[in-house]
Amino acid sequence: MAESSDRYDVAIVGLGPTGATLANLLGAAGLSVVVLEKEAGIFPLPRAIHFDGEVLRILQAAGLRDEALGISRPGEQGMHFVNAAGETMLIRGGTAALGPHGCANNYYFHQPQLEAVLRDGLARFPNVDVRLRHEVLSIEQDAESATLQVREAGADRVSTVRARYAVGCDGARSPVRRRMGSAMVDLGLKQPWLVFDVVLEQDVELPLHTVQHCNPARPMTYCNVVGNRRRWEIMVLPGDDREAMVQPASLWPMVAPWVRPDQARLERAAIYTFHSVIAEGWRNGRLLLAGDACHQTPPFLGQGMCAGLRDAANLAWKLEAVLKGRAPAALLDTYESERAPHVRALIELAVRLGNIIQTTDPALAAERDAKFRTGEPEIFELPPQVLGAGAFDATPGALAGRPFPQPRLDDGRLLDELLGRRSAVIGHAPALASAAPATAERWRRAGAIVIDRPDAALRDWLQSHQAHAVILRPDRYIVGVARTGFDLDRISQYLPVAP
């Protein structure tokens, strides 16, 4: 039995962190949104445990900064790669200092708590319709909209949902991706690991930082999560009995050097296969993909969920601009071209680190250790957050396509609190006045905020880059930097506006 159809601006399939973040951003933009989630509630056990400073800034854009800070802790100690002899080979840097996004560079959290924050956030928006226990049976599209056939669990009726765009945030086995026909490219790592989460019930002396135990006899990862939660990830070796591995009789002996069963409560033990894949084709007409539906990375950098929330931030402002008539639909084609290169770089780095961690041949491990033993431990950072080709000035050597920092302004506010969801033109008054009238009109049509008396922190940034003006997108990436009036007219053409 079918019922009458409902119409929305955007239909989101999946209410995990990526889908819930996208729904919050679109809800705040005033768009009509329906979220279709087949499960009845939040998965109650730990999964993702890390997000970075840019992700907190995205949550700030969704109006949830304080709530996210309330369920997380800053990660100030970094990550150490240690060989079987206890020697530190590699360090991913950690710091207590504020990073460029106006917060710490890293945070640790318990995923069910973050998902609750995101879902509670959706209750603010009467224009967001959340439908739990609703499974998408099919998706079709035409030139004007996507049509989804949906059934609620336990009901016979099939309802029809129509939306101008539909976004599959429906995970690694994404039905939306299958409907789009987007192929997955394997980047070279596929390995089962046992994930073992505990809650400490008494004080135990454990490292404050993350440790990658690069022991060829049994590679492991240790994570200090949040509160009393701790995690071990244990590589599954050939010949392991997977059913036996997840039983307490096998689990506790593997972590016996660090914790005993009388000191902690087992919360979860499960075997996952770590993948390194990326989809080709994140948009097909009215259908789009985000999060695990279009890329999956090994967890060695803690960037899986982060990548999904970056997708949501990139896509949200573009959908808003297109749906409100401020930009042509072709703007959505820049979503994959901008995001995919950074995602791929993160996956490839995770694969390289995985090859270091997962070395199980003692002779190869000895060679590896010897290479790292020649000096002080090597310190590495994540690949720079640089977009691929898209809606910004692609002049070689330009600062465009990178995130603009978020300083505190003279009145104590963070920059994004002033800018809101708008594009921004920031510069000295004489420089902005030198722009052509058509350029100023383009700023107006793009809905940009114009700041011609920048605060001290913004003046310092302009001076340090020998710039007279800078243009920012709503996702806080740099459109371009101007050093002359001609520059300002030229880079303003990258601000998307409707024809």
Taking only the tens place, the pLDDT of each residue in 162-196 is 999 999 999 999 999 999 999 999 999 899 999 99
pLDDT at residue 274 greater than cutoff 70: yes
Give me the chain's average pLDDT, please.
94
* Strands laid side by side in the 478-482 sheet: 449-451, 424-427, 469-472, 478-482
* Mean pLDDT for the stretch of residues 113-128: 98
pLDDT tens-place string over residues 63-74 = 999 999 999 999
In the chain, count H helices and then E strands.
Answer: 15, 24
Task: Quote the pTM value.
Answer: 0.96
* Mean pLDDT for the stretch of residues 407-419: 96
pLDDT tens-place string over residues 209-260 = 999 999 999 999 999 999 999 999 999 999 999 999 999 999 999 999 999 9
What pLDDT shows up at residue 4?
A: 47
Partner residues linked to 121 by β-bridges? none
C-alpha 344/C-alpha 349 separation (Å) is 9
**110, 264, 327 from 258: Cα distances, Å:** 21, 11, 56
pLDDT at residue 304 greater than cutoff 80: yes
What pLDDT shows up at residue 2?
A: 42
Give the DSSP letter of residue 201: S
* Tokens, residue 201: 């019930």
Q: Residue 5: which pLDDT band, with cuts at 50, 70 and 90?
A: low
